Amino acid sequence: GATQTGIRFAQRHGFDYVITMDADGQHPPEWVPQLVRAIEAESSNVIIGACTSRGSRSRRVAWFLLRHLSGVWIDDLTSGFRIYDRKAIQLLSGWRANYLDYQDVGVLALLISKGLTVSDIQVPMLPRTNGASKIFRSWIVVAYYMLHTAVLSLSKRNMLGLSGAFSGKGRST
């Protein structure tokens, strides 16, 4: 897809960072410098711009379940507002990421399983200007996403050459 094409372009051209954001207008671009400062200061490989205040009760329940299914202990697992460093870019431009179809939690689980660190910072989110959440639009979609995450977490381990369970320790892994 487009995300992987962009990451591969960045890898081929030696970019230091890749920043991703959703196309729905929720991620304020003026917060990009804070992501850059955070990745440089925290020496993490990935920083997620998290906004847990946007979480309705049902979204918080889904996040709780996704954390337990995936073993990725980040507050806002589904935020697409992220910055990746060169190590993350290298891994995500490779064949292992092809199987993930850039599924949010699957990408984080892959990075963590390969020893990369993921942290989050709180950022504001703006009201959506386009579209609807692809994950949280109905409980049926949430259930499908959680099932997809569980299948990735359990079955892709062997296909991707991952050992052990995906696990994080606290907020930063």
Q: What is the pLDDT of residue 45?
A: 96
3-class SS of residue 19: strand
Strand 82-84's sheet: what is its strand order? 18-20, 82-84, 46-50, 118-122
The structure tokens listed for 85 are 């460093």
What distance lies between CA 82 and its chain's CA centroid? 7
- pLDDT for residue 172: 38
Question: 110 with 31: CB under 8 angstroms?
Answer: no
Written as six digits, the tokens of 9 are 């372009």
| Of 38, 118, 29, 30, the residue nearest 71 (C-alpha) | 118
C-beta separation of 89 from 45 below 8 A: no
pLDDT higher than threshold 90 for residue 11: yes
Q: CB count, 10 Å around CB of 98?
A: 12
Q: Are strands 118-122 and 82-84 parallel, antiparallel or unpaired?
A: unpaired
Q: How many CA atoms lie within 13 A of 47 on its CB side?
A: 23
- Residue pair 81/24 in contact by the 8 Å Cβ criterion: no
pTM of the model: 0.74
Tens of pLDDT, residues 62-113 = 767 777 776 777 878 778 899 999 999 999 998 777 655 556 777 888 888 8
Q: Which domains does the chain have, with CATH numbers?
A: 2-159 (3.90.550)
DSSP string, 34-61: HHHHHHHHH--SEEEEE-GGG--HHHHH
